[in-house]
Chains A and B, each alone.
Chain A
């Protein structure tokens, strides 16, 4: 019995042959749809902060640096690659790349991504807000030089109602 079993086991091993992959000496790309490091496209981002709201590891911080600049800080070392940020982003500004080789030999590499988003100050309360259309955004002071001394105030949605 034992001999027969041992032979069967040996056969199993021999059939399998060598299965170890030559990675990392040869690249081994993950499958399509793999959720790797999230990549943020600042040109698409509207600074809504939805990603920060849903992130389970809470690694996305939203900081309003001044009246018209919102900074999204991604502490990538805490990222668990769940892809919720990419899922909820209304503008499709976050993409889960297939990049999984994140180790570094640089101790100063703190894996922080900072994204500066031009928002626009509400001209009454002074807080960052997203102008309703791209044209409105162009009209914001600071976006273009010729809008600096524009007369008509731009107001965030809450304030617009107040005006009416």
Chain B
């Protein structure tokens, strides 16, 4: 489907309500529609034309347009087209029809839009707060321009966490506030009948760092890559790369080809160490610590290699708008090849041993089933989607960096269970090694960074997506005044994949929940509170900060 067909079909559906269209290189389509037609447009794109919903962004444009700009993003993966549907909601009446009843995957994004920008999604089936803390004032929306990064409302005690009602006959088991095996805080409430899971609820975002706010208030274009890199502790390069590509697209900056290849090498090195890490973590979750130790041992040389090439083992600090900061010297090729060869040899041995291990199979097969329909509804990404038979991979669908010149494939499994997601990752690892080798062999000579002398003019927009080890990482940048972005929207893959957990764990036994959750390779933010249930009354409430501090002090005194 080309941008022309999409525009034409949307025009037929919403008619006069399609106010403006703009394309960029036949791969980006920016539409402006009347607020009244936004649900129709989303329905036409998602349900009729079978686009994939990506994310929703809200931008404060009250000063220039007297309105909030709401943007729904969709992707036509088979046709390499991203569609942005812009809508301007008047300042005086910040309400817009929710698209969640039509596009189920938009559930979280529209709740977030209400939290951070104060634009009410009318008709949202689950209008609870998502991102902001429970004690945050109702009428304070942090992404609005009149909210300063220095503002901080006083904490309030006695607020309740808005949880879903427990189904009749079920009991709630908290998985969290500290994930039992992943060493990351999160808060799942799992509803069980006996051993069987019948539903769940999730409350996260407790350590929301406001990075998007920083990016559209305090920071300049070239400060953001280093902050973006810290969005994720594993796939940081993915975020800095996607951000830089979005700015480069918006400003029309031509990146030297060598820089594209260097970015590709590091993206794949990151996938390599991320998948090795995940294999270890997954093994650890099901109590197979030998595998955990061995995969992490295999992973370590990649970290040392990156330290040698970039100056740091994790936060590489390589990306900058216009290219990369360090070249890969020719004499480093041997070092890289040595690390790759070692991993390839050991990984092959491991990949041969693992599928024969009956204990492992017993824990992975037929648990955490995610049907292809459900995967599409929640807009699952990466190995989570590919484990459910969805052939989507940004590297192939929307080629970026040097992927258009390299040979690669996206392994797909039809099983939909945790084993399928594991097999996808096992198969992706040798492909990553092959991509690095190809990129190093074909890397052209030349500069690694474009010289940018002029300021970037305001009002331009750019979309970039990168296939992170966990799925598509999506960045949208709208340029602003004073050489800094007016809005920078980030959607990490776990944002979509976490919404699939509810469907995945239903019908499983409680003991499988940790590996089900672990199988999407989640990246949580941190959460800092507890849910306690009074056993006699069955009442659920959230412990306050004071109570937690109190209990900590008691624990210290009694030495527990």
- The docked-state distance in angstroms from the alpha carbon of A1 to that of B354 is 10
Q: Mark A123-144, 1 if CB is under 8 A from B, else 0.
A: 0000000000000000000000
The answer, yes or no, to whether B224 is at the interface (CB within 8 Å) is yes
- What residues of A have a CB within 8 angstroms of the CB of B300 in the complex? 19
4 new A-B pairs (CB below 8 Å) besides A9-B294, A35-B317?
A: A12-B294, A33-B311, A56-B225, A81-B317
- What residues of A have a CB within 8 angstroms of the CB of B227 in the complex? 56
Q: Which of A1, A2, A80 contacts B226 (CB 8 A)?
A: A80
Contact A2 B353 (CB under 8 A): no
The answer, yes or no, to whether A58 is at the interface (CB within 8 Å) is yes
Contact B311 A6 (CB under 8 A): no
Counting chain A CB atoms within 10 Å of each CB, the highest count among B227, B294, B312, B317 belongs to: B312
Interface size class of A (residues with CB under 8 A): 20 to 34
Q: Which of A42-50, A68-76, A82-90, A145-153 is the interface stretch? A: A82-90
Show the binding face of A for B, using Cβ within 8 Å: 1-2, 4-6, 8-9, 11-13, 16, 19, 30-35, 54-58, 80-84, 87, 96
- The docked-state distance in angstroms from the alpha carbon of A88 to that of B301 is 31
- The docked-state distance in angstroms from the alpha carbon of A19 to that of B317 is 28
Contact A96 B349 (CB under 8 A): no
**Measured between C-beta atoms, what is the minimum distance from B376 to chain A in Å?**
35
Q: What are some 25 contacts across the A-B interface (CB < 8 A)?
A: A1-B358, A2-B356, A4-B356, A5-B356, A5-B357, A5-B358, A9-B291, A11-B349, A12-B294, A12-B353, A13-B293, A13-B294, A30-B307, A32-B308, A33-B311, A33-B326, A34-B307, A34-B311, A56-B223, A56-B224, A58-B223, A80-B230, A81-B315, A82-B317, A84-B226
**Measured between C-beta atoms, what is the minimum distance from B227 to chain A in Å?**
6
- The docked-state distance in angstroms from the alpha carbon of A58 to that of B304 is 28
- The docked-state distance in angstroms from the alpha carbon of A123 to that of B222 is 36
- What residues of A have a CB within 8 angstroms of the CB of B317 in the complex? 35, 81-84
Contact B311 A83 (CB under 8 A): yes
The answer, yes or no, to whether B290 is at the interface (CB within 8 Å) is yes
> Can you name the residue of chain B whose Cβ is closest to the Cβ of A35?
B311
Q: Which of B219, B308, B350 contacts A33 (CB 8 A)?
A: B308
Contact A5 B304 (CB under 8 A): no
On whether A87 and B325 interact (CB within 8 A), knowing A1-B356, A12-B350, the answer reads yes
Contact B290 A9 (CB under 8 A): yes
- What residues of A have a CB within 8 angstroms of the CB of B349 in the complex? 8, 11-12
- The docked-state distance in angstroms from the alpha carbon of A59 to that of B226 is 14
Contact A12 B357 (CB under 8 A): no
- What residues of A have a CB within 8 angstroms of the CB of B352 in the complex? 8
- The docked-state distance in angstroms from the alpha carbon of A148 to that of B434 is 70
Q: Which of A16, A31, A57 contacts B304 (CB 8 A)?
A: A31
Q: Which of B223, B225, B311, B346 contacts A12 (CB 8 A)?
A: B346
Counting chain B CB atoms within 10 Å of each CB, the highest count among A5, A16, A83, A96 belongs to: A5
**Measured between C-beta atoms, what is the minimum distance from B49 to chain A in Å?**
40
In terms of DSSP, what is the predominant structure of the interface of chain B? helix
- What residues of A have a CB within 8 angstroms of the CB of B290 in the complex? 9, 13
On whether A16 and B358 interact (CB within 8 A), knowing A34-B307, A82-B226, the answer reads no
Contact A5 B354 (CB under 8 A): yes
- The docked-state distance in angstroms from the alpha carbon of A32 to that of B312 is 11
The answer, yes or no, to whether B359 is at the interface (CB within 8 Å) is yes
Contact A80 B218 (CB under 8 A): no
Contact A2 B307 (CB under 8 A): no
Q: Mark B324-359, 1 if CB is under 8 A from A, else 0.
A: 011000000000000000000010011011101111
- The docked-state distance in angstroms from the alpha carbon of A9 to that of B324 is 40
Contact B354 A31 (CB under 8 A): no
> Can you name the residue of chain B whose Cβ is closest to the Cβ of A8?
B353
- What residues of A have a CB within 8 angstroms of the CB of B312 in the complex? 34-35, 81
- What residues of A have a CB within 8 angstroms of the CB of B208 in the complex? none
Contact A54 B311 (CB under 8 A): no
- What residues of A have a CB within 8 angstroms of the CB of B356 in the complex? 1-2, 4-5, 8
On whether A31 and B222 interact (CB within 8 A), knowing A13-B290, A82-B317, the answer reads no
Contact A9 B311 (CB under 8 A): no
Q: Mark B204-231, 1 if CB is under 8 A from A, else 0.
A: 0000000000000011001111110010
Contact A9 B219 (CB under 8 A): no
- The docked-state distance in angstroms from the alpha carbon of A155 to that of B354 is 75
- The docked-state distance in angstroms from the alpha carbon of A49 to that of B225 is 21
The answer, yes or no, to whether B297 is at the interface (CB within 8 Å) is yes
Contact A5 B353 (CB under 8 A): yes
> Can you name the residue of chain A whose Cβ is closest to the Cβ of B304?
A31
- What residues of B have a CB within 8 angstroms of the CB of A83 in the complex? 311, 317
- What residues of B have a CB within 8 angstroms of the CB of A6 in the complex? 357
- The docked-state distance in angstroms from the alpha carbon of A96 to that of B291 is 37
By Cβ-Cβ distance, the 3 closest A-B pairs, closest first, are A8-B353, A5-B356, A56-B226
Q: Mark B286-303, 1 if CB is under 8 A from A, else 0.
A: 000011011001001000
On whether A2 and B359 interact (CB within 8 A), knowing A8-B353, A16-B297, the answer reads yes
Contact A54 B294 (CB under 8 A): no
- The docked-state distance in angstroms from the alpha carbon of A4 to that of B327 is 45
**Measured between C-beta atoms, what is the minimum distance from B43 to chain A in Å?**
41
- The docked-state distance in angstroms from the alpha carbon of A81 to that of B313 is 12
- What residues of B have a CB within 8 angstroms of the CB of A34 in the complex? 307, 311-312
- The docked-state distance in angstroms from the alpha carbon of A136 to that of B553 is 63
Counting chain A CB atoms within 10 Å of each CB, the highest count among B222, B300, B304 belongs to: B222
> Can you name the residue of chain A whose Cβ is closest to the Cβ of B346?
A12
- What residues of A have a CB within 8 angstroms of the CB of B350 in the complex? 12
Which residues of chain B from 356 to 372 have any CB-CB distance to chain A below 8 Å in the complex? 356-359
